[in-house]
Amino acid sequence: MSRNRQRDLIRVALFVCLAALAAPALAVPLFPGATAFAVGEPDPIGGIVVAGGVPVPFATAQYSGTLTSTVLAGDASNPYGGLTFTYLLTNDAVSSGEIERLTINDYLGFLTDVSFQIPTVDIVPTLNNRSIAGDVLGFTFIGAPVGAGTLTPGTTSALLVVQTDAPLFEPTFASVIDGTVVSVASFGPLVPEPSTLVLAGMGLASLPLVVRMRRRMKTGRRASAHSH
C-alpha cells in the first residue's frame, strides 16, 4: 500500500472518530417492561412551555420536598415530534430521610425516550424503567454508579426528560418513594379514551371496503369509456 493511500485511510479514520465524538448521545427508548441505565443528554432543545413549571409540595413523616412538572411543545431534540415532559425532584433540607424513586403514570401506548439533562451538578438517576403494561415510568436514585446517587436531604435531581410521540397532555400524578409513598400532582400524555380506539379500529376495518369500492368505480368508468 502506498504512503499516500495510508495517509488517506488515516484521515478517514480520524474523521470518523471525530464525528462519532461530536455526535450527540442518544437516550435509550424505553419500551414496556424495560430497565436501562440512565443516560445524560443536552435535552430538551428549545420548545414552548404549555403547562406546569410550578413546584408542587409533598410531605411524609420521613421526607418532604417539591416536584416540578413541565410540558414542552416544539422540542427540537424530540425524536418522535410529540410533547416533551420534564420533572425536577427536590428533597428538603429539613427531611430526615432520603428519596429513592420517582414514578409517573399515564404513559400507556406512547413511545418514550428517557434521559436526564446535562451538564448538571445535581443528583442523576441510576436506572430508568417502565412497567410491563407500559403505563408507568420510574427513575431510581440508589445503587449508584459514578456520578449518580440518592436524593439525600437538601439535594435536587437533575432535570428528568421524557420525550414522547403524544400530541396532547393531561393532569396525572407521580409517586415519590422511599419506604413510604406519597402522590404528587403532575402531567403526562393524554391516553386515548376506549371509545376513540373503537372508532379508530372501525375506520381501519372499513379501509378494505373503501378500496374495493374505488376499484369498482374505476372499472365501471373504464368500461363506460370503451362503450362510447
CATH of the domain at 147: 2.60.40
* Phi, psi of 168, deg, nearest 5: -130, 165
pTM of the prediction? 0.73
Please state the domain count of the chain. 2
Q: Do 35 and 108 belong together in one domain?
A: yes
Domain membership flag for residue 81: yes
Shared domain for 76 and 131, answered yes or no, is: yes
Q: Is residue 19 part of a domain?
A: no
- On whether both 151 and 200 belong to a single domain, the answer is no
Peptide bond into 55 cis (omega under 30): no
* 142 and 212 together in one domain: no
Q: Beta-strand (E) ranges in the chain?
A: 28-29, 35-37, 40-41, 48-59, 64-73, 84-91, 101-104, 112-117, 127-130, 137-140, 160-164, 169-178, 180-189
Say if residue 44 is in the same domain as residue 105.
yes
pLDDT at 95: 95
146-183: string of b/e by CB count within 10 Å (b at 16+)? Answer: eebbbbebebbbbbbbbbbbbeebeebbbbbbbeeebe
On whether residue 79 sits in a domain, the answer given is: yes
Nearest to 151 by CA among 224, 66, 56: 66
Residue 77 in any domain: the answer is yes
Residue 11: inside a domain: no
pLDDT tens for the 228 residues of the chain, in order: 554 444 433 333 333 233 333 334 455 799 999 999 999 999 999 999 999 999 999 999 999 999 999 999 999 999 999 999 999 999 999 999 899 999 999 999 999 999 999 999 999 999 999 999 999 999 999 865 545 578 999 999 999 999 999 999 999 999 999 888 999 999 999 976 665 444 434 443 443 443 344 445 445 545 555 555
Judgement on whether residues 184 and 200 belong to the same structural domain of the protein: no
Q: What is the pLDDT of residue 14?
A: 34
Q: Domain span at residue 209?
A: 195-222
CA-to-CA distance for 165 and 147, rounded, in angstroms? 30
Same domain for 74 and 120, yes or no, is yes
* Together in a domain, 147 and 78: yes
Are residue 202 and residue 171 in the same domain, yes or no? no
Clarify whether residues 182 and 153 are in a common domain.
yes
